[in-house]
Chains A and B, each alone.
Chain A
Amino acid sequence: MIPTQDSWLSALDQSIHEVVGMMSTAGLDASPACPVTHPLGGETVQVCLSVSGQPAHRIRIIVSSRAALGWTAELVGQPQESIDEMVLDAVGELGNMIAGATKSKLSTDGVSRDLSIPSVRRTTCDGRRGDSDASAGSQLRYGYAGGRIEIAVEAITD
């Protein structure tokens, strides 16, 4: 059975909770309150991965600078002050682990899917609702370490 968009979102939601729960002492803030308390503005880090299949899917994870710095500090065990190569690497690995876990949860259909190497870049947005790239697809939002994480997934049709 081909996973629906809801299946993808549900698997992504479970996966981010597992990854953050396992690798970080800071917890995730469930989505409803996030748009107000954790605006996604200023500098962000975006990680993009594709998962093969019929159709293939693209997963985008946008992490605010504060959340990216908090996540990296948790992984390496020391505070981070600015977005550098180490932070980009750590956010890339966050995306890798979330996408890998998601792919596994969807594998009940017996299809083996391949995961691309994460593409990571810095982005900026002004924090208005709908301003981030992630808003293009179905979306999940979380508060984390005083910042914000958004995840979007979309089928690749071209």
Chain B
Amino acid sequence: MRVLLAEDSGVMRKIIARALGSLWIDEVVEAADGVEALELFGDGSGIDLILTDWNMPNMSGLELIQKIREDGHKIPIMMITTESEKQKVVQAIQAGVNDYMVKPFDQEMLQMKLRRLLPQRQQAT
């Protein structure tokens, strides 16, 4: 199980990776922006879940999701962001996000959401 984590804050990547550490994840592939995330995603064959921030330099998380969905990938995607206004959440859902988590977040809540997303993929494969 490989997770692609797109987040421009190294500290936040560390916190999220820590939450992932207690789950059945083999590897967390880290990207500092949407462009790097898209490159690491490649054809999508080696990634089982994407976690992405919204506000990042070069390419936002929203643009990243749009590009991945435009290419027809059905991989589960969760957005983890400070954007919590209703209009923003709707925008993310329309772009194709499967789940949404607002910062600041509780580690247990994040793990609960991740558990809910990951088995979907396990059952599908």
Contacts and interface: CB of A to CB of B under 8 A. Distances in A.
A, B assembled together: yes
Interface of A: 18-19, 22-23, 72, 75-77, 85-86, 89-90, 92-93, 96-97, 99-101, 103-104, 107, 112-113, 115, 117
A97 B11 contact: no
Interface size for chain B: under 10, 10 to 19, 20 to 34, or 35 or more residues? 20 to 34
The prevalent SS among residues of B at the interface is loop
Interface stretch (B37-45, B69-77, B81-89, B115-123): B81-89
A96 B55 contact: yes
Nearest to A107: B85
B104 A19 contact: yes
B84 A104 contact: yes
A93 B55 contact: no
B94 interface: no
Contacts of B82: 96-97, 99-101, 115
A38 B2 CA distance: 45
8 contacts: A22-B106, A93-B9, A97-B104, A100-B103, A107-B86, A112-B85, A112-B88, A113-B85
B113 interface: no
Contacts, number: 62
The prevalent SS among residues of A at the interface is helix
B120 to A, nearest CB: 27
A100 to B, nearest CB: 2
Contacts of B102: 100
Given A19-B104, A104-B85, A107-B86, A86 B11 contact: yes
B11 A75 contact: yes
B85 A76 contact: no
A85 B86 CA distance: 33
B20 to A, nearest CB: 15
Interface string B1-37: 0000000111110110010000000000000000000
A72 B11 contact: yes
A115 B88 CA distance: 12
B111 to A, nearest CB: 15
Contacts of A99: 82
B104 A22 contact: yes
